[in-house]
Amino acid sequence: MKIKIVRVHPLERKRLQLEYSDGSFRILDVNPFLGKGLFRGLMDEGMFQTAKVVFDAVEWANGADIDPETLLEDSVPTTASMATAEKT
């Protein structure tokens, strides 16, 4: 069974916490993407916060998206929910 991304939580410093169907969490630093095409719009914090899961990808309101392979390959595992930690 292929694991799928089920939730995305925008974090500080242009990072995303990715939650997968197997209960694992990963962190993706979006900064390396910000100078390219539609990703430039994500420098605006309001736009960055519009991240949502669409099928197996992450997509923003301006049409920028990151495919599931890139999400997995470019992210690093984390043992705790960063979204919860950053709110405290």
End-to-end CA, the chain: 35
Print the SS3 string covering the chain: CCCCEEEEEEECCCEEEEEECCCCEEEEECHHHCCCHHHHHHHCHHHHCCCEEECCEEECCCCCEECHHHHHHHCEEECCCHHHHHHC
CATH number at residue 31: 3.30.2020.10
Q: How far apart are CA 63 and CA 39, in angstroms?
A: 9
The total domain count for the chain is 1
User: Would the pTM of this model clear 0.85, i.e. be above it?
Assistant: yes
| Domain that includes residue 77, residue range | 5-87
6-52: per-residue pLDDT in tens? 999 999 999 999 999 999 999 999 999 999 999 999 999 999 999 99
